Amino acid sequence: MKRPPQGRAIGVVGLGYVGIATAVSFANSGKKVVGYDVDDERMMSLKKGKAPIFEPGLSELVSRHVKNGRLSFADSVDDLIGACNVIFIAVPTPSAKDGTIDLSFLKQAAQDLGYAQSRNPGWRLFVVKSTVVPGTTMNDFAPTMAKCTGGTLGTGFSVASNPEFLAEGTMVEDALHPPRIVIGITDEKSEKLLKSIYAGFHSKVVVLSPTAAELVKYASNSMLATRVSFANEISRMAEKAGVDVYPVLDAVGMDPRIGGKFMRAGPGFGGSCFTKDIKALIAWAKASGLETSLISATLDVNDRQARHVVDLARESTGGLKGKRVALLGLSFKPDTSDTRDSRAYTIVEELLWQEATVSLYDPVAVENFRRGLPHGVADEIGGRLFFASSLKEALRGSDIAIIQCDWEEFRRTPTANWKLLKDKLVVDSRRTLDRKALARNGVRYVSVGLGLD
């Protein structure tokens, strides 16, 4: 294996979705990048030039930049520190049971990097890219670094915040061409260094304090999630009114004050960010003595929406007891294998509660979904819960189908395949299929914000 470059490379600690996307984006801009992760299996894969996660375009970039030497990997934190003068920290910050974020990975990273810094003198900038509540960089990360380095903030080292705004499924494109770059800095030296690193991205750089930069991340995700829940509430009104919600929302989005992004009805939002970040913001606000009525309602609407999809199926077929339902699409969105907080989990639980049998299919996310099943639900595998190896297998023998995630494979499948369903009924929560083509083949179509044709 090639040794990491010595001197002034960019370091990335934590090579999950955010970390590896960050690393390849810097490498693609011509920088030398050194990565490090405590997961040995992940590191082994990356050293071979193989991306450990599914994301469009990621495998090609990892392979290319490992081969050309711009992307390499350190065997220890000390090796990383010796090679870099700026280190981005992209470790997980998962939700605790009470909704607060778990900072244990970040604190461990701060300790490991701090002690390594003390053994490798010289000023370095440590940039928190992990999503953390306002004040974390200055009140938790920086003091831990200072204690472990034995140095003083601003002299022996500096800290900064640089939140990510990456969407899974388009993560590589978002990392290569960010619409804006937010940096939270404490001194001019750090600002100058970060601006030079991002100079090749041709994006607007917003300079704030670390705490303000952290709040931008939470405010952004909360706004996007609120728009999704708003669209879903309007979709239920459209069903009652007997109109199609999509042209309604399109017209709303034409108002320049509003816009159309994230104004699409569906089964609700999922993934690793929105729910986790909203819960963390609510918990932080509560600890600060603040109420969050609007943001809290966003989560309530989201939880009800997935169950509403099952209600549409039940109402359209006269009851689900004894029915076999093909649930199609298990990832929280297309073009990713990530099933974290996927609405498919809620839909499965609701279908089982209504005494249905469920056949599950996804092009890439089956194993991740299987690993994420709660114990009680996982116990149903082989009894009332089955995994299909193909879309056609999932449809064959099922009474109805529910589309949870709009994979391109579902759009491309011949319309006649949907006739395999015994009840000839598709509940499409994402507006994936051509309802007129289905109708010509004798298949009924139900969708969120539309109702039964």
Each residue's pLDDT expressed in tens, for the chain with a length of 453 residues? 444 444 589 999 999 999 999 999 999 999 999 999 999 999 999 999 999 888 899 999 999 999 999 999 999 999 999 999 999 999 999 999 899 999 999 999 999 999 999 999 899 999 999 999 999 999 999 999 999 998 888 888 999 999 999 988 899 999 999 999 999 999 999 999 999 999 989 899 999 999 999 999 999 999 999 999 999 999 999 999 999 999 999 999 999 999 998 888 999 999 888 999 999 999 999 999 999 999 999 999 999 999 999 999 999 999 999 999 999 999 999 999 999 999 999 999 999 999 999 999 999 999 999 999 998 899 999 999 999 999 999 999 999 999 999 999 999 999 999 999 999 999 999 999 999 999 999 999 999 998 554
- Closest by Cα among 281, 222, 364 to 101: 281
CA angle (445, 427, 373) in 5-degree steps: 165
Per-residue model confidence (pLDDT) at position 7: 54
CATH number at 253-452: 3.40.50.720
* Distance in angstroms (rounded) separating the CA atoms of residues 345 and 369: 8
Cβ(21)–Cβ(29) below 8 Å: no
Per-residue model confidence (pLDDT) at position 35: 97
Amino acid letter, 427: V
Per-residue model confidence (pLDDT) at position 4: 46
- Closest by Cα among 94, 88, 272, 107 to 197: 88
Active-site residues: which are they?
A: 273
CA distances from 91 to 6, 38, 39, 128, 373 (A): 23, 10, 11, 9, 24
| CB-CB neighbours of 318 under 10 Å | 9
Per-residue model confidence (pLDDT) at position 451: 52
Cβ(142)–Cβ(159) below 8 Å: yes
Please give the CATH topology (third level) of the domain spanning 9-211: Rossmann fold (3.40.50)
For CA atoms 15, 16, 19, 20, the dihedral sign is: positive
Amino acid letter, 148: C
Cβ(185)–Cβ(210) below 8 Å: yes
For CA atoms 355, 332, 360, 431, the dihedral sign is: positive
* Distance in angstroms (rounded) separating the CA atoms of residues 326 and 92: 33
Residue 33 in tokens: 């990048």
Q: Domain locations in the chain?
A: 9-211, 253-452
Q: How many CA atoms lie within 13 A of 411 on its CB side?
A: 8
Q: Do domains 9-211 and 253-452 have the same CATH topology?
A: yes
Per-residue model confidence (pLDDT) at position 30: 94
- Closest by Cα among 360, 320, 356 to 344: 360
Per-residue model confidence (pLDDT) at position 5: 47
Cβ(161)–Cβ(128) below 8 Å: yes
Question: Exposed/middle/buried for 78, CB within 10 Å: 0-12, 13-18, 19+?
Answer: middle
Q: Beta strand pairing status for 451-452 and 444-447?
A: antiparallel
Per-residue model confidence (pLDDT) at position 1: 43
